[in-house]
Chains A and B, each alone.
Chain A
Amino acid sequence: DSGVTQTPKHLITATGQRVTLRCSPRSGDLSVYWYQQSLDQGLQFLIQYYNGEERAKGNILERFSAQQFPDLHSELNLSSLELGDSALYFCASSVLGKEAGELFFGEGSRLTVL
């Protein structure tokens, strides 16, 4: 157990819909990262928040948005869903400032768009 909590674990929805994925980082971690993992593809970095502010941005579509709240949990909003958005969405957190600053991953949210 990494200490990172993601909900829901599974989500099935239709094209055109909107969903929200939620992540609670490890206790004490201020930084949250979102990654997308499609079938047979690597982890694609989407976005990072640090203490409520956006810190780094990757290949995140305009239809996707995220935020980090004062209690440090984060939400990833996916809208106008397409079939290609079906993937595992991972949240990770880290302790910044540590030399070997590994990321701790949650169990992921599996999104299926039909």
Chain B
Amino acid sequence: AQSVTQLDSQVPVFEEAPVELRCNYSSSVSVYLFWYVQYPNQGLQLLLKYLSGSTLVKGINGFEAEFNKSQTSFHLRKPSVHISDTAEYFCAASSGYALNFGKGTSLLVTP
């Protein structure tokens, strides 16, 4: 099974600043990668996914991620964050049926 490591448990950032949330996965023959966001008392919402093709993936709410096979990374970025981006972010990988999630990164955006 895939394992996923999110390198930062918490990331504080000021509003309108850029942010990068880091994610590494264990290598596999083929892997599908996802970023989900979870707001308080809600389920998970898909931000973006990498299945194949272009290594730069654009998602909702201005987020993007880059698949780097040599470094087995799939870091999430946003050039300018808003207060409303404050949430828990999960990186997930799948090579079979189930999603294997990282422990999550708490993004805190302050004015």
Question: Is the pairing of A and B real?
Answer: no
Chain A positions within 8 Å of B, measured between CB atoms, are none
